Chain A
Amino acid sequence: MTHAPSPRQRERFAYRRRQAIRSVLLAALSTAVLGTLLAVGITGAPGWDRVKQSFFAWDKAVEYLPDILDGLWLNLKLLVVCATAALALGLLVAVLRTLRGPVFFPVRAVATGYTYALRGMPLIIVIYLFAFGIPGLRLQGTPDVLVLGGAAIVITYGAYLAEVFRAGIESVHPSQIAAARSLGLSYRQAMRHVVLPQAVRRVAPPLLNDTVALQKDVGLISLAGPIDAIRAAQIGVAQDANFTPYIVAGVLFVLLALPLIGITDWVTLRAARRQNAGT
């Protein structure tokens, strides 16, 4: 015998359906009204033609796109290298900072001092120190400014990431380590097989978040001479007194960030689902 909902239940269904349709219509209406208002407000402004001409000129966008893409390729390469190196450095420093025992005091002190100093130091100044200061020493075999600038970015972001990793490590309950040690695992084994897997999983969203921020900051290397996407756009802006190249670069950066942001959201969701599993 098939289940037939009671008349009251059917009434409830009908009511819910009506409500759903009503809220969709309302949302559509309010979006349309706001959108129209914005469109009329902006395109109706007396200066709109000039703004359109100086920020959204299609021919300028096409003209400077190759140069900007060229610069973006540099950003992308730097991002991959710097993000990998900074994550490794951050993990290392975080592990050093959480070492126990009086013997390791100097190691802890250095690691702590590093995270304190480099988180406070503006990135631009670190890049200046590395890319203009180090070559000034005139040592044999000084690497390219690109490498030096990259090192400055890695060192600065390493400090942020170290603190994120440390937060993760410390969020793992001490009983976990105690249990691992009582099973006969050494401190290193306990760290490697018990603490770190849980810690990294917990802080994955903020780590990815910092990577998205890093993606925009790698471009700061341009102040040492290399031409990144923003710099390429700036050159275009200076040549034509038209801001369209900036808009092009901005859109490209957003497109570049989208996959990373998507991954961040997905990882966060998955972690939340797993943590709440069974409840």
Chain B
Amino acid sequence: MTTRFTYLLTGGAVLALATLTACAPADDDTTSSSASPSASSATCDPASLSTLTAGKLTIGTDNPAYEPWFKDNKPANGEGFESAVAYRVAERLGYSKENVVWTSVTFNNAIAPGAKKYDIDLNQFSITDERKQAVDFSSPYYLVRQTVITTKGSKIANAKTLAELAGAKLGAQVGTTSYSAITDVIKPTEKPSVFNSNDDAKAALQNGTIDGLVVDLPTAFYMTAADLDDGVIVGQLPQVGVPEQFGIVLDKGSSLTGCVSQAVDSLRQDGSLAELEKTWLSEAGAPELS
């Protein structure tokens, strides 16, 4: 009887101790060091690059592919911003137009773990630390700009300059770069309206409670095309704050990452990216406001 009692006592004591240690303040000081893939100095040409199909570059994107990133849902036509960027990158790597193969990969599958059915994927992926855990990203090929949208017949629908927006009642979602774009770039005389979500802001825009709404460019294209009955893009604002960056997605640890990044970097340095942006974004419906 006594032995059993002793066991019970020791057991209880151990349990209490375990609980105590469990309750003790724990600190997680694991500093995750994300090793960025160093741009390898290895030669970047079709002969030395190990792609899915030798000599061919397989590029993934979602189906349907939307404007202004692609045109007519045909990535292979080379029209639309991302299609154009993809072909330029392929060209820098030494793949001619015939050696580029397009494949349809849904947005979620592109960054899901597991074997990839593409060499590179362009699908308006913004570069985030979380995604970097799952896939590789090239250097950014696009820095997202803030854009003013409104509805037909609004007093700013035909605005061409920032000064023309100064007298407007503008709105944005709370905690976004869009709000900073209003207060730091446009500096309107009227206090901006701030909303919990873009849905609320959209309702206010349709009601005429606000004259214009500031969102990022991809959202601007989506909203004016799909959400708003008669939405129009007024124009893009100059860059502000820390913009979101779009990067080309590659398999985690892909041997191509260094070469693709080099290709993107060279496209940025020689002004090709700026030129493509002008052709496929600014002139395709989102003019620049200055």
Listed in ascending order, the chain A residues whose CB lies under 8 Å from chain B are: 45-47, 131-132, 135-136, 138, 145, 222-227, 231, 234-235, 237-239
Contact = CB atoms under 8 A, between A and B. Distances in A.
15 contacts: A46-B27, A132-B203, A135-B204, A135-B207, A136-B207, A145-B204, A223-B195, A224-B193, A224-B204, A224-B209, A225-B171, A225-B193, A225-B195, A225-B210, A238-B176
A235 B206 contact: no
A132 B209 CA distance: 8
Given A132-B204, A223-B195, A225-B193, A237 B25 contact: no
Interface string B180-194: 100000000001111
B216 to A, nearest CB: 15
Contacts of B174: 231, 234-235, 238
Interface residues of B, number: 23
Describe A's contact surface by its main secondary structure. Answer: helix
Given A225-B194, A227-B194, A235 B207 contact: no
Most buried by A among B26, B174, B195: B174
Contacts of A224: 193, 204, 209
A227 B200 CA distance: 15
A225 B25 contact: no
A224 B169 CA distance: 13
Given A47-B25, A225-B210, A132 B194 contact: no
A235 B194 contact: yes
Given A135-B209, A235-B179, A238-B174, 18 more contacts: A45-B25, A47-B25, A131-B209, A136-B203, A136-B207, A138-B208, A145-B193, A223-B200, A224-B204, A225-B171, A225-B194, A225-B204, A226-B193, A231-B174, A235-B175, A237-B175, A238-B175, A239-B180
B196 interface: yes
Contacts of B175: 234-235, 237-239
Interface string B21-57: 0000111000000000000000000000000000000
A225 B207 CA distance: 13
Contacts of B179: 235
B193 A132 contact: no
A126 to B, nearest CB: 15
Contacts of A47: 25, 27
Interface string B194-219: 11100010011011111000000000
Contacts of A231: 174, 194
Nearest to A132: B203
A48 to B, nearest CB: 10
A225 B209 contact: yes
Contacts of B208: 135, 138
A132 B200 contact: yes
Nearest to A222: B194
A145 B195 contact: no
5 nearest CB pairs, A to B? A238-B175, A225-B193, A135-B207, A46-B27, A136-B207
Interface string B154-177: 000000000000000001001110
A225 B204 CA distance: 8
